[in-house]
Structure 1
Amino acid sequence: MNSLDARSQILLKTLIERYIADGQPVGSRALSRFSGLELSPATVRNVMSDLEEMGLIASPHTSAGRIPTALGYRLFVDALLTVQPLDTSRVHELKGQLQSDQPQRLLNSASHMLSNLTQFAGVVVTPRKDAVRIRQFEFISLSENRILLIIVTTAGDVQNRILITRRAYNSSELSSAAAYLNEHFTGLSFDAIRRRITDELRQLRSDMSELMTATVDAGSEAAEESATGYVISGEINLLDIEDLSSNMTRLRELFKLFEQRTSLMQLLELSNKAAGVQIFIGGESGLAQLDGCSVITAPYEANGQVVGSVGVIGPTRMAYDRVIPIVDITARLLSSALSPNS
């Protein structure tokens, strides 16, 4: 930034603002007109050439215009952006949308609100739950070697897992296995079940041990997934964004990322460890699927403790001045709604 003089900063800021607004490469004549600087198109071209050499802008094809790079967006967001705060009446209106005595409903509402306000994908990382405890197991035979495991937790969550076994189990055996698990392990976490079942499997018939071991392995995986997760809304909005929909292969990879969850969770949870709004532009996320996207996140609290984060996923060409305060105020309002006594 220190190597950019005031004139270059103004032209870069103008170029990025015009590109965000119009989605078209910006030429020297447009920059000369919109920058407010009394510069000839030739002078502007020279500055653009310098900015391109620095990796801040690029020429997309044979067009004479330029577009920002991820590095250009980063400099813009860090040093040139003027954020537009939401007015008081708008904040009051949004606060009304986040009123509920049910935490899960609040998180869903926050996700929908982010999506509706930005027309991008809104995401809320849910608080990490205490160890998942089991209320009931059930087995259903799907085919000779495929069994559907149904796990109901004490919180009422239902998880389904398909078990692949080396041999077939008849309905009587599956009923016996479910009865055994329900009798001995109801109310325990999977960590506790794993510790106890290791000893008790020795006393079971060896032909049932495979089913029991597979159940505990699958259940532990399900419990880990349900312990931390996120609510996402408005993914379909991304289909209407030309910058993303023009590359269907990349868009499909992005939707796979939403389904797989683990990698995106790791990125979103970085926000839990930071103060205030975090912005990941393109490759900064470390996830190839988010190349061409920006992720804006902010942590939220419950009674003074950071318990999760809210965020928006959209194209790098987004109105950062508008989206950043939306993410920030949503995190603040959600914190307030989840902390009625603070």
Structure 2
Amino acid sequence: MARPAKTAEISERAQRLLRVLIEQYVREGEPVGSRTLARASGLDLSPATVRNVMADLEELGFVCSPHTSAGRVPTAQGYRLFVDSLLKVEPLTAPTVEQLRRQLDIDAEPGELVESVSNLLSSITRMAGVVTLPRQEHAALRRIDFLPLSQRRVLVILIMNEREVQNRIIQTERDYSPAELEAAAAFLNEQFAGKDLAAVRSSLIDEMQRARDGMNQIMNAAVSMAEQVFIEDRNAEGEEVVVAGQTNLMDFRELGDVEKLRQLFEAFNQKRELLHLLDQCLCADGVQIFIGEESGYQVLDECSVVTAPYKVEGEVLGVLGVIGPTRMAYERVIPIVDATARLLGAALNPKT
């Protein structure tokens, strides 16, 4: 994220005018003229004086003048100064937080709960909601079972933590009898039951690095199938982040260009860059805000991303956030993201 802009660079009067300009622009979506600013600021300034201040702010890179208007709009640098130094964010009231909590299906499995949170963020902010799935390294394996299917496929039943059940289908290199699958599951349960997935993966990699000739048939089969379940599946593309409300972005004029929208939706569908950006926030303490080019991804140059990690017992499990235009109501979005992250962590607590 870019370094915060310093308010010491501009006078208090200029800061006041910049704050009013941004608030007006966020509300109206139109370039703000000097006469409007002079009236809205509450300062006893002439439009000519305001124009001079705006010229100074433009020279410093905090505002710019669109070609089609004499008014000015904030730049990403202007938003950064506003968010870091001029914005007063109030936490959500207790009734509002309770209203959010009631909209979450707290009894759902983690995957369904994450989808619920993504939809909730989208519906409340009218922008795109994003949530990464809980990192499975923090999930403990309770039991694994294998059931034979047709065409060399095997149904894998995983019981994680206390009550989370996951079903996966893997393709095997040969047919396995029910007895072989039962023996393979018994071997894996004996070796790994009660361990978190990070330990399971580490042990499996060690096993695979040993000479395969040194394993008996049951061990070989068990390790081969577990490799697909715990290692290859971990890297499945696009399965680790849930996005909702992408089409909401079509309602914002600054994102209404067809080519911009196409690139944005393509990024949402592929999710690779989006997941990488969110991963950067895993170690953050509290809300992180990427404005425009700060994300490092060209497709998000016209967007802001507001994120917060969610935790269970102090352990960060994932990140959630909102993606919208740089012209967003930050004072509203920031506390929503912060409160939702806390609610998701609390909802996941009984499941871990």
What letter corresponds to residue 230 of structure 1 in structure 2?
V
- The CA RMSD over aligned residues, in Å, is 3.7
Per-residue CA deviation, residues 65-109 of structure 1 (Å, 9 max, x unaligned), is 111110000000001112243232222211222352334133222
Note if contact 1:55-1:69 (Cα within 8 Å) is conserved in structure 2. Answer: yes
Q: Structure 2 CA distance, aligned partners of 1:138 and 1:240?
A: 49
Instruction: Note the C-alpha offset of 1:230.
Output: 2.1
Q: Which residue of 2 aligns with 1:234?
A: 245
What letter corresponds to residue 238 of structure 1 in structure 2?
L
- Paired residues for 1:33-72 under 5 Å: 33-72=39-78
Q: Which residue of 1 aligns with 2:115?
A: 108
- Paired residues for 1:92-131 under 5 Å: 92-104=98-110, 105-129=112-136, 130=139
Note if contact 2:288-2:308 (Cα within 8 Å) is conserved in structure 1. Answer: yes
What letter corresponds to residue 243 of structure 1 in structure 2?
E
Q: Which residue of 1 aligns with 2:220?
A: none
Note if contact 1:151-1:219 (Cα within 8 Å) is conserved in structure 2. Answer: no
Q: Which residue of 2 aligns with 1:30?
A: 36
1:224 aligns with 2:235: yes
Q: Structure 1 CA distance, aligned partners of 2:177 and 2:303?
A: 46
- Paired residues for 1:251-330 under 5 Å: 251-330=261-340
Q: Unpaired segments of 5 or more residues in structure 1?
A: 142-147, 164-172, 204-212
Q: Structure 2 CA distance, aligned partners of 1:340 and 1:131?
A: 13
Percent same amino acid among aligned pairs? Answer: 45
Note if contact 1:271-1:309 (Cα within 8 Å) is conserved in structure 2. Answer: yes
**What secondary structure sits across from 2:336 in the alignment?**
helix
What letter corresponds to residue 242 of structure 1 in structure 2?
R
**What secondary structure sits across from 2:304 in the alignment?**
strand
Q: Which residue of 2 aligns with 1:7?
A: 13
Instruction: Note the C-alpha offset of 1:272.
Output: 2.1
Of residues 124-133 and 98-107 in structure 1, the stretch that sits farther from structure 2 once superposed is 124-133
Q: Structure 2 CA distance, aligned partners of 1:226 and 1:292?
A: 26
Per-residue CA deviation, residues 249-289 of structure 1 (Å, 9 max, x unaligned), is 22222222222223222221222211111101011111111
In the superposition, relative to structure 1, how do residues 64 and 88 fare at CA in structure 2: closer, same or farther (>3 Å)?
same
Q: Structure 1 CA distance, aligned partners of 2:52 and 2:31?
A: 17
Note if contact 2:131-2:320 (Cα within 8 Å) is conserved in structure 1. Answer: yes
Q: Structure 1 length as normaliser, TM-score?
A: 0.78
Q: Structure 2 CA distance, aligned partners of 1:83 and 1:136?
A: 52
In the superposition, relative to structure 1, how do residues 253 and 152 fare at CA in structure 2: closer, same or farther (>3 Å)?
farther
Note if contact 1:85-1:325 (Cα within 8 Å) is conserved in structure 2. Answer: yes
Q: Unpaired segments of 5 or more residues in structure 2?
A: 1-6, 160-164, 193-199, 216-223
Q: Structure 1 CA distance, aligned partners of 2:63 and 2:204?
A: 57
**What secondary structure sits across from 2:281 in the alignment?**
helix
In the superposition, relative to structure 1, how do residues 150 and 252 fare at CA in structure 2: closer, same or farther (>3 Å)?
farther
Of residues 4-13 and 326-335 in structure 1, the stretch that sits farther from structure 2 once superposed is 326-335
What letter corresponds to residue 240 of structure 1 in structure 2?
D
Note if contact 2:158-2:167 (Cα within 8 Å) is conserved in structure 1. Answer: no
**What secondary structure sits across from 2:236 in the alignment?**
helix
Q: Structure 1 CA distance, aligned partners of 2:122 and 2:342?
A: 17
Instruction: Note the C-alpha offset of 1:324.
Output: 0.6
Instruction: Note the C-alpha offset of 1:182.
Output: 5.4
Query: How many pairs are equivalent?
Result: 317
What letter corresponds to residue 289 of structure 2 in structure 1?
I
Q: Which residue of 2 aligns with 1:209?
A: none
Of residues 273-282 and 124-133 in structure 1, the stretch that sits farther from structure 2 once superposed is 124-133
Q: Structure 2 CA distance, aligned partners of 1:227 and 1:121?
A: 16
Q: Structure 1 CA distance, aligned partners of 2:49 and 2:153?
A: 70
